[in-house]
Amino acid sequence: MNGTNNESDALRFRVIERRKWPDICCWQELLTAEWLPLVITPASLNPDQACEIGAKRVFGFDANGRRCYYARRFAIPTLRSDDNDEFYKASAYREQVEAWLLMDDRWLIYKLMHIRGCTFNYGFNLAESCPAG
């Protein structure tokens, strides 16, 4: 785990958070030049959004219908006050996970969490299965 309170990590999270979801042209946005040629390219992307809980996810499938991409983002809201008279909604917790199926059938997973001002960037990790189960 790589916990930071780094401004650049927080800025990157805000930029990703503000991006229109799902931007189906950007499934590869977080991939580095080293990883991009090793992932299976989705032929279709199926977005799913649960507005009532602030969750968004996308499943990507290859030409044979096999899942090859997964992304989820969600936020847990809280009420905050700036001057004890005005209340506004803010995120107490936000999470972003993206996963790509590699040519060798392993999953490349990227995870970023933001908890009350602290950003935890777990970076890229390999797994035997997709985090969506």
Tell whether 128 is covered by a domain: no
Which residues does 76 contact at the CB level (< 8 Å), separation at least 6? 54, 91, 92, 93, 94
Long-range contacts of 55-61 (CB under 8 A, 24+ apart): 56/21, 56/22, 57/132, 58/22, 58/24, 58/27, 59/132, 60/27
User: Is pTM, for the whole model, over 0.75?
Assistant: no
The domain containing residue 81 runs over which residues? 3-31+40-123
Residue 39 banded pLDDT, cuts 50, 70, 90: very high
Chain mean position to CA 17: 9
Residue 75 banded pLDDT, cuts 50, 70, 90: confident
Please state which of the ranges 77-81, 109-113, 128-132 shows the lowest mean pLDDT: 77-81
Residue pLDDT, tens place only, 97-127: 999 999 999 999 999 888 877 888 888 999 9
CA pseudo-torsion sign 55, 30, 13, 1:
positive
Query: What pLDDT is stored for residue 77 in this prediction?
Result: 78
Query: What pLDDT is stored for residue 54 in this prediction?
Result: 67
39 closest CA partner among 102, 97, 99, 98: 102
Tell whether 81 is covered by a domain: yes
Tell whether 132 is covered by a domain: no
Tell whether 130 is covered by a domain: no
Number of Cβ within 10 Å of residue 32's Cβ equals 8
Q: How many domains does the chain have?
A: 1
